[in-house]
A and B are shown apart, each in its own frame.
Chain A
């Protein structure tokens, strides 16, 4: 069966929330609310996450990995360079002095953490991305968009729900 993409635009978060709640409570064949629903908003709005339900964020794992990798890489690179000093007189001082190396390790820890966090962000947020099948530039201004993907058979039911909650505009397009 063919698929259909629908985008409904709303002027405020209350209406968008009501739509999501109704979509969650209604069983619609050919539409999975957890998989096929995307809310687009002009601002970061914590309430969106509340009414969409808990969804995991994995960026912090990238951060941890990046910071550890950066720190270890920094320490071992410096130590490897200092190992060259075997050939030089050190006057009894340690070849790999820990206190001064800590400073550079610390900087590399942060550098790795920041770089890999941003990499994690791009991966987790799916960026860079092509435009989704339906997009309205009013999302970047003042409207909230609800994008759903469903079977053809569910499209009319979904449109009915959108209209019931005062959608300003409904766009639709055949999906792949």
Chain B
């Protein structure tokens, strides 16, 4: 079965994608409403936390980080699949990515924006954020340039700004299509402004190709560095359960894994909501599913490496944390993480489930639940069972404010993402045209070769 029909007219591609900007199914509005309601919960929690103080988050000594930082890592991780689809697969000339990479890139940008919010929320007194900025000041204080936390801030800023630029630059030819096809209103003005006068001249395309490739080349090491640095926040400390050499690759694999699972979820939603059945096809879904399965197995392996290196390290404190995870307060969540992250993806190995939309939707949600639990199980158990017994506090539980913020962050992400998909084309029109064109040319060549072979003509 082909990834996409080769006989779709280019004009129809424009028409179908532009229709998504105006006329989605009703489910779109339902999702938007739910997302807004969820965001409302988070805003309420945030206001309450501002008013009363960080104590309402139920964070104390030794529980310094809690759900905020766990969810921060989750959202950073989620952003990696956009880079995987748009940059890595672009360099590998995997053209099946073309109909779906745009929304994956948008997902990258919005998940980074969501992650950034958690840093601010975690700080508590956001109005004093200038204390953390590196500039000469009367206080004589500077951030610690040797701290992975500062590297993290810099890496995330670089990744966020580069991702926004990458998303925008890749969208310029499509914005020109929108400008040409939409006749009036604020949208016309917006697309005219953002398309920068693009006309598809040979000079523009030539420079566009080199630019896109170059930024893609920068984004790959950047994405790896971002999550490696997030891993360093933990790995470079002396805390039991965190001081592990395999943390950076483990974090990167986890990031790609949760991102791919999220792509499956969003693929299914967008395909239905915007009637993209012709572009977001089942063969393409099958490819993402296989990719997700492969990454799930890498993550499972790295998880096993982590457990083994702790178990055989003779570091009693780290071993105790691992035992605590498997049998203490957090045991149900830790085992749920193992179940969702390593057992559930085995479903993806079966061919009949690789294109079964209800099953894939449920599986992708479970995978992401597993990946969120993974981040929580990295952060919380170490705080509850540190090196010194007098710091042990196994019964701490995040407050409703923390849970509300986590819940609301999904609303914030969904809101941004769905608004983006309604305002900007979530399928890259010019790249789908390229895909259709090149594939039809290939088919023609194959047919001709076949005819020659049948007639006994050819090189032999």
Give Cα distance in the complex from A150 to B412, angstroms.
55
A90-129: which have CB < 8 Å to B? 97, 100-101, 103-104, 106-108, 110-111, 113-115, 117-118, 120-122, 124-129
A147 CB contacts on chain B under 8 angstroms: 201
Contact in complex: A97, B146 (CB < 8 Å)? yes
Interface 0/1 of B133-175, CB less than 8 Å to A? 0101000101001100011001101100110011001001100
Given A114-B215, A121-B208, verify A41-B9 contact (CB < 8 Å): no
The listed residue (A44, A82, A137, A139) touching B434 by CB distance below 8 A is: A44
Interface 9-mer from B221-229, B260-268, B285-293, B341-349? B221-229
A44 CB contacts on chain B under 8 angstroms: 205, 208-209, 430, 434
Contact in complex: B197, A43 (CB < 8 Å)? no
Contact in complex: A120, B211 (CB < 8 Å)? yes
Give Cα distance in the complex from A113 to B11, angstroms.
36
CB-CB nearest in chain B for A130: B197
Distance in angstroms from B112 CB to nearest chain A CB is: 14
Give Cα distance in the complex from A60 to B210, angstroms.
8
B351 within 8 A of A: no
A38 within 8 A of B: yes
Given A81-B145, A84-B142, verify A127-B197 contact (CB < 8 Å): yes
The listed residue (A100, A124, A137) touching B146 by CB distance below 8 A is: A100
B229 CB contacts on chain A under 8 angstroms: 103
The listed residue (B169, B197, B202) touching A49 by CB distance below 8 A is: B202
Interface 0/1 of A20-62, CB less than 8 Å to B? 0000000000000000001111111100110010010101100
The listed residue (A78, A85, A100, A121) touching B211 by CB distance below 8 A is: A121
B161 CB contacts on chain A under 8 angstroms: 111, 114-115
A164 within 8 A of B: no
Chain A contact residue count (CB 8 A cutoff)? 55
Contact in complex: B201, A39 (CB < 8 Å)? yes
Distance in angstroms from B148 CB to nearest chain A CB is: 8
Contact in complex: A104, B10 (CB < 8 Å)? no
Distance in angstroms from A124 CB to nearest chain B CB is: 4
A169 within 8 A of B: no
The listed residue (A48, A107, A121) touching B169 by CB distance below 8 A is: A121
Contact in complex: B202, A59 (CB < 8 Å)? no
A173 within 8 A of B: no
A45 CB contacts on chain B under 8 angstroms: 205, 434, 437
The prevalent SS among residues of B at the interface is helix
B379 CB contacts on chain A under 8 angstroms: none
A132 within 8 A of B: yes
Contact in complex: B225, A41 (CB < 8 Å)? no
Contact in complex: B221, A110 (CB < 8 Å)? yes
Contact in complex: A135, B210 (CB < 8 Å)? no
Distance in angstroms from B308 CB to nearest chain A CB is: 28
B90 within 8 A of A: no
The listed residue (B166, B176, B437) touching A43 by CB distance below 8 A is: B437
Distance in angstroms from A135 CB to nearest chain B CB is: 6
B172 CB contacts on chain A under 8 angstroms: 127
A142 CB contacts on chain B under 8 angstroms: 9-11, 433
Contact in complex: B151, A101 (CB < 8 Å)? no
Given A97-B146, A129-B196, A140-B176, verify A117-B211 contact (CB < 8 Å): yes
A125 CB contacts on chain B under 8 angstroms: 203-204, 207-208
B199 within 8 A of A: yes
Contact in complex: B196, A128 (CB < 8 Å)? yes
A128 CB contacts on chain B under 8 angstroms: 196-197
Give Cα distance in the complex from A60 to B212, angstroms.
11
The listed residue (B157, B207, B222) touching A121 by CB distance below 8 A is: B207
Give Cα distance in the complex from A27 to B134, angstroms.
63
Contact in complex: A39, B145 (CB < 8 Å)? no
The listed residue (B151, B198, B210) touching A107 by CB distance below 8 A is: B151
Binding site for A on B (CB under 8 A): 9-11, 14, 134, 136, 140, 142, 145-146, 150-151, 154-155, 157-158, 161-162, 165-166, 169, 172-173, 176-177, 179-181, 196-211, 214-215, 218-219, 221-222, 225, 229, 430-431, 433-434, 437
Q: For the A-B complex with A44-B430, A49-B206 known, give 18 more contacts whose Cβ atoms are closer than 8 Å.
A: A38-B202, A38-B203, A42-B10, A42-B200, A42-B433, A44-B208, A57-B207, A81-B142, A100-B145, A100-B151, A104-B151, A108-B154, A115-B165, A125-B203, A125-B207, A131-B199, A140-B180, A147-B201
Binding site for B on A (CB under 8 A): 38-45, 48-49, 52, 55, 57, 59-60, 63, 78, 81-82, 84-85, 97, 100-101, 103-104, 106-108, 110-111, 113-115, 117-118, 120-122, 124-132, 135, 137, 139-142, 147
A–B complex contacts, Cβ < 8 Å, 12 sampled: A39-B201, A39-B202, A59-B214, A81-B134, A110-B162, A114-B165, A117-B211, A118-B215, A121-B207, A125-B204, A139-B199, A140-B180
- The 4 nearest A-B residue pairs measured at CB: A142-B10, A129-B197, A137-B180, A121-B211
